[in-house]
Structure 1
Amino acid sequence: MNTRILLCLIAACVCAFDSASAQNGELALKANDRVTISIGGIPDNEVPQISKVYTISDNGTVNLLHIGEVRAAGLKPSTLQRAIEETYKAREIYTRPTVTVTTDDSATTTRMIYVISGCNKNGPIAYNTGMTVLKAIGSAGGFSPFAKPSRTKLIRNGVTSEINLKDISSDPSRDIKLQPEDQIIVPE
Structure 2
Amino acid sequence: MNTRSVSCFLAACVCAMAPVHAQNGEIALKANNRITISIGGIPDNEVPQISKVYTISDNGTVNLLHIGEVRAAGLKPSSLQRTIEQTYIAREIYTRPTVTVTTDDNATTARMIYVVGGIKGNGQVPYNSSMTVLKAISAAGGFTPFAKPSKTKLIRNGVTTEINLKDISADPSRDIQLQPEDQIIVPD
TM beyond 0.5: yes
User: Runs of 4 or more off by more than 2 Å in structure 1?
Assistant: 106-109
Deviations 1:19-69, CA, capped at 9 Å, x for gaps: 9xx721111111111111111111111111111111111111000000000
TM-score (norm 1): 0.86
Distance in 2 (alpha carbons) for counterparts of 1:160 and 1:108: 24
**Equivalent residue number for residue 179 of structure 1:** 179
Deviations 1:96-116 (A, max 9, x none): 111111112135560000012
Number of residue pairs the alignment of both structures matches: 168
> Quick one: percent identity of the two aligned structures?
83
* Number of the residue aligned with 1:155: 155
**Conserved in 2, the CA contact under 8 Å of 1:34 and 1:108?**
no
Quote the Cα distance in structure 2 between the aligned partners of 1:110 and 1:98.
28
Q: TM-score, normalised by structure 2?
A: 0.86
Q: What corresponds to 1:145 in structure 2?
A: 145
2:108 and 2:128 in contact (8 A); partners too? no
SS at 2:160's partner residue? strand
1:117 corresponding residue in structure 2: 117
Distance of 2:94 and 2:87 partners within structure 1: 9
1:84 aligns with 2:111: no
Aligned-residue Cα RMSD (Å) equals 1.4
Unaligned ranges ≥5, structure 2? 1-18
Query: What corresponds to 2:38 in structure 1?
Result: 38
Q: CA deviation at 1:124?
A: 0.9
**SS in structure 1 opposite 2:48?**
helix
2:51 maps to 51
Residue in structure 1 matched with residue 16 of structure 2 by the alignment? none
Equivalent residues of 1:150, 1:164 under 8 A apart: yes
